[in-house]
């Protein structure tokens, strides 16, 4: 039972982290880009600034860098500073939830439920601070869709969020409705809804990645690999899947297709270039299985 529950949490983490989307609120924090997705360079640059001289915007970016690099204790401390300062609470609390979500992977099995619920609460508080924060709204909805029932998963609760999502953004409404349909064992309806979302907007990376994930889960590995292939040249914002994650999913789809040399090459790229230790370890585990 413990092993089964742990697998459910790992699925929750991998899915939710990939559901990060840009907010439609006035804040521009959540759309900043990091050159070459180099969060190590960003962390080094901002850490060199005396804390008393850092702007809150810089503190937010430093918190993001630490989260991306797996430095969760530092990320928590910085996000607490932002929240205490009432700085762009929608964004700061959303980030806080992501840090907790990542932490679920790190804590022992007996703490996973409590930590996951802390992530959900942070996103709910983000919505209380900014009801138009589609990023937090989508995260809450995705939590209800993908969390195991013993941890708070509830498709009815997810369904109830759809009108609110629709009022903010039709494309993310299609995504949410598609994911709910997939959970309800309606694959054709799910695919139709996911494909309705625009792929020419600022978050086309998110939309395409979700479609690729859907095809992967549906065992349509050829189409999954084709979609992941298209994502390598897109400009990425901080909340988009990092290049190593795109390479990793592309490698896994290629392996399922039987294209082992191409899969191994992608995994080697992740092992050599991943800045997050969890992604590097994931790639090493996949390579060891060859």
Q: What is the pLDDT of residue 25?
A: 34
Q: What is the pLDDT of residue 2?
A: 43
Specify whether the CB–CB gap between 139 and 23 falls below 8 A.
no
pLDDT per residue as tens digits for the range 235-289: 888 878 899 999 999 999 999 999 999 999 999 999 999 999 999 999 999 999 9
Other CB atoms within 10 A of residue 285 CB: 10
Q: Cβ-count burial of 236 within 10 angstroms (0-12 exposed, 13-18 middle, 19+ buried)?
A: middle
Rounded Cα distance, 168 and 25, in Å:
10
Neighbouring residues of 267: CB distance < 8 A, sequence distance ≥ 6: 247, 248, 251, 283, 286, 287
Specify whether the CB–CB gap between 165 and 134 falls below 8 A.
yes
Residue 209: name the closest of 257, 241, 176, 256 by CA: 241
Residue the block writes with tokens 């409590």:
114
- Confidence (pTM): 0.87
Specify whether the CB–CB gap between 47 and 253 falls below 8 A.
no
CA distances from 264 to 18, 81, 86 (A): 23, 42, 46
Spell out a b/e string for 122-152, using b for 16 or more CB atoms within 10 Å of the CB, else e: bbbbbbebbebbbbbbbbbbbbbbbbbeebe
What are the chain's domains?
1-154 (1.25.40), 199-290 (1.25.40.10)
Q: DSSP class of residue 48?
A: T
Specify whether the CB–CB gap between 241 and 270 falls below 8 A.
no
Q: Cβ-count burial of 4 within 10 angstroms (0-12 exposed, 13-18 middle, 19+ buried)?
A: exposed
Which residues in the chain land under pLDDT 50?
1-5, 17-28
pLDDT per residue as tens digits for the range 28-37: 455 677 888 8
> 237 — phi, psi (to 5°)?
-95, 170
Q: What is the pLDDT of residue 71?
A: 96
């Amino acid at each position: 039972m413990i092993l089964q529950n742990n697998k459910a949490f790992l699925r929750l983490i991998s899915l939710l982290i990939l559901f990060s989307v840009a907010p439609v609120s006035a804040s521009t924090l959540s759309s900043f880009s990091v050159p070459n997705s180099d969060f190590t360079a960003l962390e080094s640059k901002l850490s060199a600034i005396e804390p008393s001289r850092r702007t809150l915007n810089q503190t937010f970016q430093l918190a993001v860098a630490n989260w991306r690099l797996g430095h969760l204790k530092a990320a928590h401390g910085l996000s607490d500073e932002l929240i205490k300062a009432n700085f762009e609470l929608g964004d700061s609390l959303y980030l806080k939830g992501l840090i907790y979500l990542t932490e679920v992977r790190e804590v022992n099995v007996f703490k996973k439920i409590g930590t996951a619920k802390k992530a959900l609460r942070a996103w709910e508080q983000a919505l209380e601070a900014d009801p138009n924060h589609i990023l937090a709204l989508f995260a809450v909805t995705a939590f209800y869709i993908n969390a195991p029932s013993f941890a708070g998963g509830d498709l009815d609760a997810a369904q109830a969020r759809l009108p609110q999502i629709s009022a903010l953004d039709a494309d993310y409404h299609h995504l949410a409705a598609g994911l709910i349909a997939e959970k309800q064992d309606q694959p054709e309806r799910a695919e139709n809804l996911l494909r309705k979302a625009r792929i020419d907007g600022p978050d086309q990376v998110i939309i395409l990645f979700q479609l690729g994930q859907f095809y992967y889960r549906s065992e349509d590995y050829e189409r999954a690999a084709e979609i992941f292939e298209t994502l390598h040249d897109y400009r990425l914002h901080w909340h988009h899947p990092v290049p190593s994650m795109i390479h990793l999913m592309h490698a896994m789809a290629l392996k399922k297709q039987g294209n082992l040399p191409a899969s191994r090459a992608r995994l080697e790229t992740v092992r050599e270039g991943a800045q997050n230790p969890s992604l590097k370890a994931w790639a090493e585990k996949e390579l060891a299985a060859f």
